[in-house]
Structure 1
Amino acid sequence: MKKAKLFMGTVVQIEARCGNAMSEEELEIRVSRAFDAFRQVERACSRFSPESELMQACRRIGKATTISPYLLEPLRFALEMAEWTDGSFDPSIGRLLESKGFNSHYLTGGRTNSDADLSANFRDVELNETNRTLCLHKPLILDLGATAKGFAIDLAVSELKGCPGFVVNAGGDVYAGGTDEQGDKWTIGIREPKSANAILQTLYISDASVCTSGSYERRSEVDDGEHHIVHPATGRSPNEWISCSVIAPYAMMADAFSTAAFVMGGEEGIALIAEAGLQGLILTWDLRIKRIGGI
């Protein structure tokens, strides 16, 4: 079975087979639930919808807001990554991204323009996991673009775990479970940034995710040379690398680490991936390929 739907500004494709232990009807239900995971996470985490849980919480400065697990989990991991990278990865950069033109809803075209303190950072975000509340201590806009989609993929994967083989592909961020119809690992191609139809590297994976962050994915229409990945300290887009792909056991992990490493760049970015025990593939600005973790 192969199906595709539009969520979170990208085409989400699910391929799954039922095998002998599952009926076609059961497979249909599981795939439907997998797509619904994307719907739920988008409703909770969208920076582009004024009615999302995230944007409602961002309007309540200094007040604790109860949030659902669909927002809590990707935010919790984003804050952990911010601590780990000492702020090189920072989910509080939503206003900065708005200023670069990344504020348009992919379906409606409606634009968000928020009043926020550009000096705010992730330390101004208080997340109480016990009470499941979020409190912002300064006016800021949260952006979960580097964790929410990966989290949605992981939720979709949990619905498909009974299938002998499946792939969830959300705009090139992929989780491949089990095996293909021949009983082999899934063949996943990492795109050559300069050509949409060319493959930079072929990977063979099973029960793992590969996510790619790159400067070629979305360019700013209002700030020449800028793209959607921004370093919080400089307010500018790093261009040392063209792309960074990370293989990890979970999509949210692969998504966040690929973004964080791309922002940091150089030996620091490479060390971040290596110290986490993950595998990575980097394409530098001068078209050199760097491999991490025996990829």
Structure 2
Amino acid sequence: MGTAISLDLADDLPAATSHELAERTFDWLREVDARFSTYRDDSEVCRLDRGELRAVDASGDLRAVLARCADLWTATDGFFDAYATGRLDPSGYVKGWAAQVASDRLVAAGAPNHCVNAGGDVRVRGHSPTGEPWRIGVRHPWDPAATCLVLTGTDLAVATSGVYERGHHVVDPRRGTPAAGLRSVTVVGPDLGVADAYATAAVAMGEPGIAWLDRLPAPWRHAVVTDDARLLRSHALPATS
């Protein structure tokens, strides 16, 4: 998916068990990359986009993701659009979804304390290796060596969409041009795939995305950094700084 993935297992498990769980997790993420990558010509997504694969013949995972993307298109008034760039690219949901599935599988396998970090989309469960709640730094949108706030919790899905690495790459699907107004959007909630899509949609909306985020029901929360350097955040956001 063109990004780095890290895994922190905090349970006191035998080394062999931890190694096996880590291998299963990375095998899953490699499987997702092979199926959904927009960089690999032989991926299912690229083959479907070129018309070489029919949707009815696609894998169950791809069909489920496309259905979810359609639901999210409706939920975001069309601002989360897997075809916003003119080609099929569900990455704005897939990265968070893949990490969420990995986290769910770790819980089911007996590792309830962990952190999965998929290129800044983070799913934490339970406690960190110190026994304290996890601390998740949200990158400062102008200083890559700093954070603009730190979130803490024991069951959080945290997704950030921003323009600080790839420029204004998120397309406003209504205008067909790169969106502007929001430098960084972080969405916190119970599901990382949905949080990822919501963050992408808000960036695509520009400044009107702030009011849209404010209308999301609990437990969804957010933090936004605007292009003119304002930091706005939900009152209930679990931030320490």
**Fold shared, TM-score > 0.5 on shorter chain:** yes
For residue 201 of structure 1, give the secondary structure of its aligned residue in structure 2. Answer: strand
Give 2:122's aligned residue.
174
For residue 280 of structure 1, give the secondary structure of its aligned residue in structure 2. Answer: strand
Q: Per the alignment, do residues 199 and 272 of structure 1 end up closer, same or farther by CA in structure 2, a change over 3 Å counting?
A: closer
Segments of 5+ residues of structure 2 without an aligned counterpart are none
- CA shift for structure 1 position 34: 0.9
Deviation digits for residues 149-200 of structure 1 (CA, Å, limit 9, x no counterpart): 1111012112321224211111111111110123221011101011111110
Counterpart among 211, 220, 224 of residue 270 in structure 1: 211
Paired residues for 1:41-60 under 5 Å = 41-60=32-51
For residue 195 of structure 1, give the secondary structure of its aligned residue in structure 2. Answer: coil
Counterpart among 208, 211, 215 of residue 163 in structure 2: 215
Segments of 5+ residues of structure 1 without an aligned counterpart are 1-7, 96-140, 220-226
Contact conserved, 1:47 with 1:94, CA < 8 A, in 2? no
Counterpart among 158, 170, 175 of residue 104 in structure 2: 158
Give, as a single letter, the amino acid of the residue that structure 1 aligns with 2:234. Answer: I
Give 2:15's aligned residue.
24
Q: Per the alignment, do residues 291 and 68 of structure 1 end up closer, same or farther by CA in structure 2, a change over 3 Å counting?
A: same
TM, length-normalised to structure 2: 0.90
TM, length-normalised to structure 1: 0.74
> Greater helix percent: which structure?
2
Give 2:4's aligned residue.
11
For residue 8 of structure 2, give the secondary structure of its aligned residue in structure 1. Answer: strand
Counterpart among 239, 261, 271 of residue 180 in structure 2: 239
Percent of residue pairs bearing the same amino acid type: 32
Give 1:289's aligned residue.
231
- CA shift for structure 1 position 270: 3.2
Contact conserved, 1:12 with 1:168, CA < 8 A, in 2? yes
Give, as a single letter, the amino acid of the residue that structure 1 aligns with 2:37. Answer: S
Paired residues for 1:177-192 under 5 Å = 177-192=125-140
Give 2:65's aligned residue.
74
Give, as a single letter, the amino acid of the residue that structure 1 aligns with 2:8. Answer: E
- CA shift for structure 1 position 268: 4.4
Give 1:91's aligned residue.
82
For residue 275 of structure 1, give the secondary structure of its aligned residue in structure 2. Answer: coil
Deviation digits for residues 227-282 of structure 1 (CA, Å, limit 9, x no counterpart): 22010111111221110000111210111111111111334443245324200000
Contact conserved, 2:213 with 2:222, CA < 8 A, in 1? no
Runs of 4+ off more than 6 Å: none
Count of aligned positions: 234
- CA shift for structure 1 position 53: 0.9
The 10-residue stretch of structure 1 (158-167 or 63-72) with the greater mean CA deviation from structure 2: 63-72
Q: Does 1:280 align with 2:222?
A: yes
Bigger radius of gyration, 1 or 2?
1
